[in-house]
Amino acid sequence: MGRFINAQTVILLGCSLFVLYLAGIPLVMLLYGSVRSAPIGEPGAAYTIQNYIKAYFDREFYLLFWNSIKYALGTCLVSFAIGTFLAWVNERTNTPFKKLFLVMALIPFIIPGILSTIAWILLLSPKIGLINLVVKNALGLESAPFNIYSMGGMIWAEAIHLYPLVFLLMSASFRNMDTSLEEAALTAGSSTFTTLRRVTLPLMRPAMFGVLLVMFVRGIEAFEVPALVGVPAKISVFTTKIFLAIHQFPSDFGLAGAYAVTLLIISGAGVLIYQRVTKRTERFATVTGKGYRPRVIDLGPWKWVTCFIAFLIFLLAVIMPVFILLWSSFIPFYGIPSRELLAKVTLANYHYVLTYPLALTAFKNSFLLSVGSATLVMLLTSVIAWITVKSKIPGGVFLDNLAFIPIAMPGIVLGVSLIWVYLTLPIPIYGTIWVLLLAYITKFMPYGIRSSSATMIQINKELEEASMTSGGTWFQTFRKIILPLLMPGFVAGWIYISIISLRELSTSILLYSYNSTVLSIMAFDLWEGGQYTYVCALGVLMVLLLVAMAVVARKLGARIGIAE
């Protein structure tokens, strides 16, 4: 009996405390750090509100605030328009080539943010941008028609990177919609477009609002585009301001903390409202139930128009960025495609990247961090989901919310708070790969808990009880019944987390050291050094690694558990 109790309580209590530690400590330390006059350990540190005064009484702060909001709103609206249009075309219309669209829509998702940013710089830079040069030549213009180094350019680059998320979320809500409500409107004599306006859109409104909030939060916490485009263009937002406060010499941790708290409050508010909104829509969704085959609208000849627009989007969002990355990765020096350059195609960039002194370390670290954080997050959240969904242990809801907190923490803010945590606590991992691992686990825990809970809910309670009545202990039941049954969700979550951790930049950039360099940092450094062709080669390798990992995970998952 003793052993039974122990294995269970040790695991359950251990996981709960770990989540509390991961989610709680950074918050506390961030607030603490923002009211200290000097970093921990330095003599003479005292409590102060000087950091906030310095931040808020700077005229630049309000410019910063305004820029951040403009940037986030713009990103949110543009990505929403693209993603929703594609989701609607794909789920609800008879537009030709739908299957192809599904694949195309998700490709930008697998391209790390830093790479898509670089791709857009290479396409839209006034000096070297491919599109600019082509259009200029074709129309005989004096100057470049587009400029990536502007608010509009930044919004465009970010929105193209983020729209796959809108596509996924909106597809889900189109799919869950009870189309009999629409059919009722049609039979009542209203036309297809009146129905869309009067019935479909109002029904989708809560879901749409939720998605808009998510995209706003994503926009406000974005780092890659503001860092690579915004900094040279002198357009600052919160994330880059925090980054610069720490990267200047000497670092101003206190000021970074004050900015970070402000940013945290904005994104936290967004997440809170989002949760309120979706709680209601989820309830709505369960009432109508799933398994609907959504009614497909026959667009008639218009289907060629939607098809054309979709292809145009893919040309811009997928084909051109992928092309420019591939092209640049095979040429010896950066230049626009031409016959002369084509003759010089070479693998030298790949060779350089692979023999770069830090390359091996970066590949190894990124791979280990990606696999490690994805595995640990999914195991941890599987246990947490069991507690919150299956057990009658009190405090389950609290634990669920706790694991979800980091979603409101922009990567750069998490980085700042973890600096405080590990400069303060006597845990000697600052500057090692371990601090990155903890950071990734914290950051991606919310995605894990979402995926694990959703799958856990679908597991019939009796499957677990049958193991208990067969004599299985809690641990045996968890390992032999629950985990295998969770496997489809586990693998899906694992793939997602391993992808986003492999491309993580905004947290890593504050926490890495020479020995704990990761691929995204290496790409950032190469870019800063002006070595464009090398960055592109590295990017292509990263994407290949991601695809390989996803394929292997699916294969393994199918072997261990039930195939979907």
Partner 1 sequence: MAEKNFMVRIQNLEKFFGEDRERVHVLKGVSLDIPEGSLYTFLGPSGCGKTTTLRCVAGLERPDIGSISIGGKTVFSAAERVYVPTNRRPIGMVFQSYAIWPHMTVFENVAYPLTIQHVNKADIKKRVGEVLKIVGLQGLEDRPAPKLSGGQQQRVAFARALVNEPKVMLLDEPLSNLDAKLREQMRFEIKALQRRVNITTIYVTHDQGEALAISDQIAVMHAGKLIEVGNPHQLYSRPKRRFTATFLGLTNLIPGKVVELGGDSKPGRLETSKGVFAFIPAAGLHAGGAAVLSIRPEHIEVMKQKPQVSENVLEGTVKEAIFMGDAYHCQIAVGDTLLRVHTHPFLTMNPGDKVYLHLDPQSCNGLPAEDTEGMDESALGA
State the residues that interact with partner 1 by CB under 8 A. 1, 4, 460, 462-463, 465-473, 476, 480-481, 484-485, 487, 561-562
Closer residue to partner 1 (CB): 134 or 463: 463
Cα gap 221→416, rounded to integer Å: 13
Cα gap 150→156, rounded to integer Å: 10
Closer residue to partner 1 (CB): 453 or 467: 467
Report whether the peptide linkage leading into residue 226 is cis, meaning its omega lies within 30 degrees of zero. Answer: no
CA-to-CA dists, residue 467 to 389, 486, 558, angstroms: 18, 15, 22
CB 497 to partner 1: min, Å: 23
Closer residue to partner 1 (CB): 425 or 466: 466
Q: How far is CA 232 from the centre of its chain?
A: 24
Closer residue to partner 1 (CB): 288 or 473: 473
Closer residue to partner 1 (CB): 81 or 563: 563
Of 460, 461, 411, nearest to 436 (Cα)?
Answer: 411
Closer residue to partner 1 (CB): 187 or 460: 460
CB 380 to partner 1: min, Å: 22
CB 557 to partner 1: min, Å: 11
Closer residue to partner 1 (CB): 141 or 563: 563
CB 8 to partner 1: min, Å: 10
CA-to-CA dists, residue 219 to 151, 263, 270, 560, angstroms: 13, 12, 11, 38
CB 558 to partner 1: min, Å: 11
Closer residue to partner 1 (CB): 199 or 385: 385
Q: Tokens 């464009």 map to which residue? A: 532
Count of Cβ atoms closer than 10 Å to residue 289 Cβ: 9
Q: What is residue 345's three-state secondary structure? A: coil
Closer residue to partner 1 (CB): 108 or 488: 488
Structure tokens at 10: 């040790």
Closer residue to partner 1 (CB): 126 or 484: 484
Q: What is the DSSP letter of 93?
A: B
Closer residue to partner 1 (CB): 58 or 465: 465
**Is residue 519 within 8 Å of 538, Cβ to Cβ?**
yes
Cα gap 34→244, rounded to integer Å: 16
Burial class of residue 156 (count of CB atoms within 10 Å of its CB; 0-12, 13-18, 19+): buried
CB 467 to partner 1: min, Å: 7
CA angle 289–292–298, rounded 5-degree value: 145
CB 389 to partner 1: min, Å: 17
Structure tokens at 267: 């994104």
Of 93, 95, 149, nearest to 123 (Cα)?
Answer: 149
CB 560 to partner 1: min, Å: 8
Closer residue to partner 1 (CB): 483 or 535: 483
Structure tokens at 52: 């906030």
Cα gap 103→170, rounded to integer Å: 16
CB 465 to partner 1: min, Å: 5
Q: Tokens 């700077």 map to which residue? A: 58
**Is residue 353 within 8 Å of 537, Cβ to Cβ?**
yes
CB 388 to partner 1: min, Å: 17
CA angle 328–523–326, rounded 5-degree value: 20
Cα gap 102→100, rounded to integer Å: 5
CB 472 to partner 1: min, Å: 5
Q: In one letter, which amino acid is 432?
A: T
Q: At what angle do helices 253-288 and 2-34 cross, to 10 degrees?
A: 130
CB 474 to partner 1: min, Å: 8
